[in-house]
Every structure is written in structure tokens, then in C-alpha cells.
Structure 1
Amino acid sequence: MRTFLLPIALLILLPGCDRPTPSSAASSPTAASAKPADAFFAQLGALCGKAFAGRLVAFDERDRESFGGPSVMHVRTCSEQEIRIPFHVGDDRSRTWIVSRVDGGLRLKHDHRHRDGSEDDLTQYGGDSAAAGAGTAIRQSFPADAESKAMFLKGGLNASVDNVWSLEVEPGSRFAYELRRPDRHFRVEFDLSQPVEAPPPPWGYE
């Protein structure tokens, strides 16, 4: 297991994709007429193909080394059912957020990869928005699901069973990724008003 696993174990957050395929499919229905989860998914899909620079706004001092460098999110692939968003920090391209439609709402999963493209021991964890209520067109939250809790307990990461991840999209203004639990608050925000050059593909999806 590579040395990056320590910050992953501390945060259990942030963390694969096909070729980027910007699509309007992910951005229909309109936010005004859709249910909150559908409206949120549409607003996220409207960003498909674009990349944005980010900055830490809530973190522990231990996060600075691993997450304090230049960061960028790239809404890289979109379909009617799934949106994949690589999250890069410096030259670390190990993380991808996966947002998909499920019965009753949305699902967030974290795909962690090694530099050679193989899956990390700690990967594909997350939860469903339905467990946190309807949410809004701006914010959806995802409490850790049973599969993720079992993974955390097996790995000795007991505190992480209380993880709740949240995503926010304020069109033209801000995208945010957040992790909360009783002893933890991590949040990174991205400026949607100024797209940046798309980064290289995430590890494992070159």
C-alpha cells in the first residue's frame, strides 16, 4: 500500500473514467421542475467537460501536506445515470468522485487508484442521499452506507462509520465537497466562474 494511504485513512474521503463525453443528457430535466436529487444531478451534468480550480476552506492541520497543494476537479464523463469527477491535488491523480442515480435519490462513491491504475485497498466507499432526506437542488448529503461501514471497521477505521459526505453546486459560483463526522470537518470549494484547463486523466483511465 502506498504512502498516500495514511491521509486516506485519516479522511476517508476523496478519494475511473472513459474518454470524456460532455453530454446534455445529464442536464435534463430542468432544475425548476425536477425533484431535488434530479435537479442537483442536472446542475452537475451542466458542468460536463469543464474543470475548475479549488481551495481548502475547512481542514485539520494534518491535511495541509496531502491536500494543501493546487487542486482541480474535472467533470469528465457524464451519462443519464452517472457522472464521474476526478479530483486532483498536485500530481496526485488517485481520486474520482462517482455520482449516480439510484432509486430514491443519488449515490456517491469514491474511486481510489494507485499510480499503476490498480485499485486501492480502500475504495468504492460512500452512501446514498436517500438516507439523509431529499436534500435540495443545491446540496445533497450521503451518509456512509452499510458496505462502507463494514469496510471501515475491517480496516480499523471505526470513527469513519459516522462519515457524511456532501456535495454542493451553486451554478456559476461554487462547487463544494465536504466530509463531516463528530471529530472531523473537511471541505474544499471550487470556483465555477472561472473554468481552467482540463487535467490529465485520473490514474487507471489513461
Structure 2
Amino acid sequence: MTRLAILAALPALAACTTMPDTAPLPEPQERFWEALESHCGNAYEGELASSDARDADWQGKRMIAHWADCSSTRIAIAFHVEDDAQADGWDRSRTWVVSRTEDGLRLKHDHRHADGSEDAVTQYGGDTLSAGTARVQDFPVDAYSIALFEREGLDVSLTNVWRVEVDPADARAPRFAYQLTRRNDPTRLFRVEFDASEPVEVPPPAWGW
């Protein structure tokens, strides 16, 4: 092969050897990711759907979930909660970050103060341990989070399991939900649900984003 022919073949060879942006996930997780991704850019209003007395302060408050940042490997959902104590009437300290890993999906909680600085308790969460379903994924607490909770005296959180549920945006009456339970406390349930069929006005960015 002449030097000219070799040079002409290089672009095609490069195209054949280009690696994909993301590793393939088990089929249920791929479908879940696609459903989550279908809401990118949208914001939805929701409310507390559980009745645990420990969450009494959340009762009756308006909530908005905003798909604020999306890429091929990460989806960040800002969680805004009505709060009269804040200057604009909203607590914008929480962002749920779902990302793809080599082994599945990961959920992390990005907690910030109003000045954008990180809270002492932040970046906690967990990885999926099974393929889950196209609509539901569970994230048991990981080792990093356990160490963080122990350091901060949050021993009640050492067995946390977070759940994310999502329907595709084009489903009939789609919904989105975030839930917290604890393996060592069957009475613990925190759950918020959002009507994903009717987007609302996009809120200001979450603190620090």
C-alpha cells in the first residue's frame, strides 16, 4: 500500500476504533436512563406523598424537580422546596445526580448553602446492586456515605436505600418519584411525587450550580 493510500485510510480506521461515550448498561437500566433522559430541560411540580411524622415540616409545601443538567453520563435534577425562611421563598440546596458507571447507575446528593458552598453532608448516595426495572432503580447506601454519616453523627442513615421512579415523558400520565427507606427501620418512609405530564416554569438554578 502506498503512503497516500495509507493516509487516505486513516480516517476510516479512526472511525472504526472510536470508543462509545458510555459503557452499555443492562437492558432495564438502559430503558430507565432513556426515560430519565426524556425529561431533560423540564421542570415539574410535586408534593410529599408519604405521611411519616418525622417529615411533618414538609407537609403542604410546594416542590419542583428540574432536570437542570444533562449529558451522556450524568443527569442532575434540582429539587426546590418552598421555604418562607429563604429570601425568595425557596430552599434550592438539593440536587439529585444520577450517573452511569461501568457497573450500573449511581445516585448522589449534592447539598449546597445559599452562597454555593458545599454542606458538610453532601455527595452521599449509592450504586445499584441489581438491574432493577425500566421504571424503578434502588440505590443502597455506599461505603463513602456510611463513613460520612458516621463522621457527622448520622447513625440513623447507615442503612439508607434511595429509590428513583420515572416514566418516559411520552407515557400516559407520566410520574417521577424520589423515595427514602431504611433497612433497619421498616417504619421509615420519605417519598415525594411529581406530575411529569405538565411541565412548569423552569426555576432559578439550584445553589452552587
TM-score using structure 2 length: 0.78
**Structure exhibiting the larger radius of gyration computed from Cα positions:** 2
User: Which segments of 5 or more consecutive residues in structure 1 lack a partner in the other structure?
Assistant: 1-25
Correspondences of 1:39-188 after superposition (within 5 Å):
39-66=31-58, 68-90=60-82, 91-129=90-128, 131=129, 133-171=130-168, 172=171, 173-181=174-182, 182=185, 183-188=187-192
Q: CA deviation at 1:37?
A: 1.2
Q: Distance in 2 between matches of 1:125 and 1:168?
A: 19
Q: CA deviation at 1:66?
A: 4.2
Correspondences of 1:4-23 after superposition (within 5 Å):
none
User: Which segments of 5 or more consecutive residues in structure 2 lack a partner in the other structure?
Assistant: 1-20, 83-89
Q: CA deviation at 1:194?
A: 1.0
The runs of at least 4 aligned residues of structure 1 exceeding 4 Å deviation read none
Q: Write the letter of the residue equivalent to 1:35.
A: E
Q: Distance in 1 between matches of 2:53 and 2:202?
A: 29
| 1:52–1:190 CA contact under 8 A, matched in 2 | yes
| 1:48–1:78 CA contact under 8 A, matched in 2 | yes
| 2:45–2:200 CA contact under 8 A, matched in 1 | yes
Q: Distance in 1 between matches of 2:51 and 2:151?
A: 26
Q: CA deviation at 1:34?
A: 6.5
Q: Distance in 2 between matches of 1:118 and 1:66?
A: 24
Equivalent in 192, 201, 204 of residue 205 of structure 2: 201
Equivalent in 180, 183, 196 of residue 192 of structure 1: 196
Task: State the percentage of identical aligned residues.
Answer: 54
Q: Spell out, residue by residue over 1:15-70, the C-alpha distance to the aligned partner (whole angstroms, 9 max, x if none).
A: xxxxxxxxxxx9xx9xxx96111111111011000000011111423323246411
Q: Write the letter of the residue equivalent to 1:77.
A: D
Q: Write the letter of the residue equivalent to 2:201.
A: E
Q: Distance in 2 between matches of 1:195 and 1:64?
A: 27
Q: Distance in 2 between matches of 1:199 and 1:67?
A: 21
Change (3 A) 1:63 1:35: same
Residue of structure 2 in register with 1:9 after alignment: none
Secondary structure in 2 matching 1:202 = coil
